[in-house]
Amino acid sequence: MTDLRACVGEGRASDEPLELALYARDAGVAVGRADAVCFPGSGAEIAAAVRVARRHGRPFVARGSGTGLAGGSTPLGDPVVIVTTQMNRVLEVDAQTCVAWVEPGVLNLDLSREVAPLGLHYAPDPSSQQACTIGGNVGTNAGGPHCLSEGVTSAHILAVDVVLPDGTEARLGSLAPDAPGYDLRGCFVGSEGTMGIATRIAVRLTPDPPCVATILCAFDSVEAAAATVSGVIAAGVLPAALEMMDARITQAVEDFVGAGYPRDAQAVLLVEVDGLEGGVATQVDAISSVARTNGATLVRVAADDAERALLWKGRKSAFGAIARIAPDYYLHDAVVPRTKLVDVLRRVYEIADAHELIVMNVFHAGDGNLHPLLVFDRREPGIWDRVYAAGTEILDACLDAGGVLTGEHGVGIEKRDLMARMFSVDDLDAQARLRDAFDPDGAANPQKVLPSGSRCGELQRVPDGTWI
Amino acid sequence: MTTPPDTNRALDIAPVGARTHWEVGGPPVAGATEVRAPVGVLAYEPADMTITVGAGTTFDELDRVLAEQGQQCALDPRSRAATVGGILACGLSGPRRLRHGPVRDHVLEVRFETGDGRLVKGGGPTVKNVTGYDLPRLFVGSLGTIGVLHQATLRCRPRPVRSQWFTGVDTARAFRPAARLWDGRREAVLLEGVDVDVEAEGRGLAALAAPPRFPDGPHRGRISVAPGAVRACAAALTRTPSESASAPGEVRWCAELGVGTIHVAADDAAALARARSVAHAHGGWMLREAGGSAADDGYGCALPNAALMRRVKDAFDPAGKLNRGRLPLGAVHA
Ligand SMILES: Cc1cc2nc3c(=O)[nH]c(=O)nc-3n(C[C@H](O)[C@H](O)[C@H](O)COP(=O)(O)OP(=O)(O)OC[C@H]3O[C@@H](n4cnc5c(N)ncnc54)[C@H](O)[C@@H]3O)c2cc1C
């Protein structure tokens, strides 16, 4: 502790049990234990903190706001937790080349607010954007509704200054379009804190579109809404955002914020298109006609910015709305091909019914990124077993449909032991070797992402003193 | 120009595509065993906007198949004969990168064989995925030094209804154009979209009958500088008349405005070397694409984070068999 205080300053490091308890988990379900927590104010301080941890034989865990849902910043292995929230300055903005350098603790929405007067925004907009940090977004390669046409975080990160697990500093990527050699930047983004800590991030800013249209479509069935999603993509339209909410979510949102969604709909779609006037008009027509063909009961284009903002407020408050009606929820995250949405959603409801659970669906439909949400009351005996069993079956259904385990929340602890369902022994071994290239001693965020036994050698290694 | 063979070593392996980008990067090793990737479309679901192809498939074939469904994948190689494997390994993006993003952003899943003979899959077939480490992005630009690509799943997009190059004084005005080029004489901008938008945005500009061409010659390179420095760097490539006639020859160039790539070509290796030093003076670097002097290692600069890159290389190709010489990381094995 003395060493840690010496590098980050008095009052910026703690091992008080109460303080440690605050950093024992993220917004997901897994709980860990921190050995110490510190709040560095600069990249140099992060590097110093990492070196102190290493000198004392401790691993370290990078943490932003702790809104992660997969246990990414949950401390395992008695680590030093390094929190970036004190580093929340936007350092430089170049409106000419649309680049900003930011500290890792800058909140996602704060960045977009700061550059708004320049007619720019930061495109990836996770639903948690008021609370999550850009560093955390880099950690998880976060997505958001508007990543459908603009791409997820990695497409918006030009360079990252990092502290590598050995405590040295490096710049990965560059403002120049290509950096010589391997795309280490690309490896780092989405590595969930297992390859080091981002201390300064160069992000690409996106010009605000001259024209935006937001369409609300309502349907009598989830199938019809899902068929519309597939139909829109099949029609060759790639909207800026395409989100879906089922009846339970819609009603909860209406009770909470009154976004103007029809209460009697079985499902609603929120579709946004942007760009130049002509293209927007063409896409609005195409989307409306696909929706009507699929039996939409309502197709309404927001009349003005106020109505648009209200429609989006509904979508972005969905989780807040649920928190009011159910004491606990387990939020899943998986992706299926967009052509499989109808079938997979049907399976999701069947699985929940079979386990006598309530499932709600609010998700990034245009990407095929499902977020089935199982709501429950943890005081009910045996409920966790049912929630886990249903969750696993849902993930299996997604994988069976040609999908993947996680689209944006990450692997963390939550899906670590499911990795073998998607990857072979050799695939996992290759990933383990890549991680080892960055972190040979396993000091950065240990026990995350890859299941133990991922390294081929690990399986065969005979413990010392064993007789064969 | 080749890296000399080393008779004391295990077999060298060199993946081969269509040889359209064969001289990109460092010189290949002589006498390597050449291997080729499978050819053909393995899966295409237009309604998912994803396509899986054998790495030996040419861009021409890929584009033809996608065009039938009104789609495209904006890899935009210099030659349509280039293979998908070669495009991904070189990682050279086309001019529409400005709007559509670099090559690495179009790749969803890769399957490649590592130097120690394992078939490894990375990424996933869906348009969104964060399961595990991002091997697709690691592969793009690795110049075949971490694996031999067998197949890749690519993200597709709707083909624009209209696509038209314009020229004029104020090409910066257009809203998020697909590409912007400047060759020192004129600026050109590629507008894509529906007819009314292209016409409205193109007002005041002159439509070009043919797309601008990148400079050609026996010695070619690709400069990468921060977009804010691209005009100054490109302007410095042009020799002023006062420079002595005995100085190395002319550098022809075309700059991607807003991106920071400058395509350069020359008739002699010395001129290409001069282009590289101009790039360095502007905080950038130059990748050799063709020709160059015998001593050119393809990069002409120390690779950043070389020690870390060497460990990455080692992780996938422990014996150093794959494309030795292409990426000058220094000795992987001491
Ligand atoms: C209500 C709600 C809605 C959400 N909606 C979305 C959504 O739409 N899309 C989405 O993608 N996610 C969503 N999330 C998940 C979460 O907000 C994202 O994963 C976010 O990127 C986490 O940011 P954070 O600052 O909270 O990071 P943390 O949770 O603190 O950390 C996340 C991971 O990143 C690593 N990390 C943190 N900082 C750094 C750094 N500086 N350098 C390297 N690694 C670092 C951590 O070790 C950890 O592995 C949602 C969460 C909630 C609670």
Please judge whether B133 and A191 are an interchain contact, meaning their C-beta atoms are less than 8 angstroms apart: yes
Instruction: Name residue B252's beta-bridge partners.
Output: B265
What mean pLDDT is predicted for residues B302-320? Answer: 96
B292 at A interface, C-beta within 8 A: no
Distances (CA, A) of B133 to A141, A182, A220, A430, B139: 11, 14, 40, 10, 12
Top residue of B45, B119, B129, B317 to mutate, by most chain A CBs within 10 Å, is: B129
The CATH class of A90-207 is alpha beta
A343 at B interface, C-beta within 8 A: no
Please judge whether A419 and B131 are an interchain contact, meaning their C-beta atoms are less than 8 angstroms apart: yes
CA proximity to A36, closest of A71, A2, A72: A2
**Which residues on chain A are in Cβ contact (under 8 Å) with B284?**
176
Task: Give B 192-231 residues with CB within 8 A of chain A.
Answer: 193-197, 200-201, 224-228
What mean pLDDT is predicted for residues A226-247? Answer: 94
Tell me what the pLDDT averaged over chain A comes to.
Answer: 94
| Non-local CB neighbours of B231 within 8 Å, separated by 6+ positions | B182, B255, B257
- What b/e string do you get for A411-443 counting C-beta neighbours within 10 Å, with b at 16 or more? bbbbbbebbeebbeebbbbbbbbbbbbbbeeeb
User: Which residue do the tokens 């159910």 mark?
Assistant: A326
Model confidence band, residue A468 (pLDDT cutoffs 50, 70, 90) = very low
Model confidence band, residue B6 (pLDDT cutoffs 50, 70, 90) = low
Structure tokens that stand for B11 in this block: 């077999």
CA angle (B134, B308, A429) in 5-degree steps: 45
What mean pLDDT is predicted for residues A309-336? Answer: 88
**Which residues on chain B are in Cβ contact (under 8 Å) with A431?**
122, 132-133, 135
Helix or strand run (H / E) with residue A392: helix A383-400
Backbone φ and ψ of B82, nearest 5°: -60, 145
What mean pLDDT is predicted for residues B113-137? Answer: 97
Query: What is the pLDDT, as a whole number, of residue B245?
Result: 52
Please judge whether B131 and A406 are an interchain contact, meaning their C-beta atoms are less than 8 angstroms apart: yes
Query: What is the pLDDT, as a whole number, of residue B167?
Result: 96
A293 at B interface, C-beta within 8 A: no
Please judge whether B125 and A172 are an interchain contact, meaning their C-beta atoms are less than 8 angstroms apart: no
**Which residues on chain A are in Cβ contact (under 8 Å) with B120?**
426-427, 430
Query: What is the pLDDT, as a whole number, of residue A459?
Result: 42
What is the position in ligand 1's atom list of the atom closest to the CA of A135?
41
- Say which CATH architecture domain A2-83 belongs to: 2-Layer Sandwich (3.30)
Model confidence band, residue A250 (pLDDT cutoffs 50, 70, 90) = very high
Q: Per-residue pLDDT tens for B40-98?
A: 999 999 999 999 999 999 999 999 999 999 999 999 999 999 999 999 999 999 999 99
A32 at B interface, C-beta within 8 A: no
What is the position in ligand 1's atom list of the atom closest to the CA of A69?
15
What mean pLDDT is predicted for residues A309-326? Answer: 87
- What b/e string do you get for B141-152 counting C-beta neighbours within 10 Å, with b at 16 or more? bbbbbbbbbbbb
Closest residue of chain B to A234, computed from CA coordinates: B47
Please judge whether B228 and A94 are an interchain contact, meaning their C-beta atoms are less than 8 angstroms apart: yes
CA distance B226 to A172: 15
pLDDT at B269 > cutoff 60? yes
What is the position in ligand 1's atom list of the atom closest to the CA of A153?
11
Model confidence band, residue A467 (pLDDT cutoffs 50, 70, 90) = very low
Q: Per-residue pLDDT tens for A113-123?
A: 999 999 999 99
Query: What is the pLDDT, as a whole number, of residue B9?
Result: 57
Using the 8-state DSSP alphabet, how is residue A183 labeled?
-
Query: What is the pLDDT, as a whole number, of residue B248?
Result: 60
pLDDT at B246 > cutoff 60? no
CATH 3.30.70.2740, applies to A326-414: yes
From the CA of B319, how many Å to the nearest CA of chain A?
Answer: 14
Q: Per-residue pLDDT tens for A358-386?
A: 999 999 999 999 999 999 988 899 999 99
Query: What is the pLDDT, as a whole number, of residue A93?
Result: 98
A410 at B interface, C-beta within 8 A: yes
B171 at A interface, C-beta within 8 A: no
Query: What is the pLDDT, as a whole number, of residue A326?
Result: 78
Closest residue of chain A to B298, computed from CA coordinates: A180
Query: What is the pLDDT, as a whole number, of residue A320?
Result: 82
Query: What is the pLDDT, as a whole number, of residue A462?
Result: 35
Lowest average pLDDT, out of A233-237, B42-46, B256-260, goes to: A233-237
Please judge whether B157 and A238 are an interchain contact, meaning their C-beta atoms are less than 8 angstroms apart: yes
Common-topology check for domains A211-321 and A326-414: yes
CATH level 3 topology of A211-321: Alpha-Beta Plaits (3.30.70)
**Which residues on chain A are in Cβ contact (under 8 Å) with B194?**
278-279, 282
| Non-local CB neighbours of B7 within 8 Å, separated by 6+ positions | none
Nearest CB to A407: which of B130, B196, B312?
Answer: B130
Ligand 1, CB cutoff 6 Å, lining residues: A 26-27, 61-69, 72-73, 84, 104, 126-128, 132-133, 135-140, 142-144, 192-193, 197-198, 319, 408-409, 445
Q: How far is the CA of B184 from the centre of ligand 1 (A)?
A: 45
- Sequence spans of domains, chain A: 2-83, 90-207, 211-321, 326-414
Helix or strand run (H / E) with residue B234: helix B230-237
Using the 8-state DSSP alphabet, how is residue A370 labeled?
E
CA proximity to A300, closest of A288, A286, A315, A314: A288
Inter-chain Cβ pairs, chain A and chain B, closer than 8 A: 252
Nearest CB to B48: which of A141, A338, A436?
Answer: A338
Q: Per-residue pLDDT tens for A259-292?
A: 999 999 999 999 999 999 999 999 999 999 999 9
Give ipTM to 2 decimals: 0.94
Closest residue of chain B to A170, computed from CA coordinates: B305
Model confidence band, residue A463 (pLDDT cutoffs 50, 70, 90) = very low
Atom 28 of ligand 1, residue of closest alpha carbon: A66
Q: Which of A46, A73, A332, A375 most suits a substitution to test ligand 1, by most atoms within 8 Å of the C-beta?
A: A73
CA distance A316 to A334: 19
Q: How far is the CA of A74 from the centre of ligand 1 (A)?
A: 11
pLDDT at B241 > cutoff 60? no
Atom 27 of ligand 1, residue of closest alpha carbon: A136
Query: What percent of chain A is helix, strand and coil (3-state, nearest 5)?
Result: 40, 20, 40
Query: What is the pLDDT, as a whole number, of residue A454?
Result: 78
Q: Return the percentage of chain B with pLDDT > 70, whole number.
A: 93
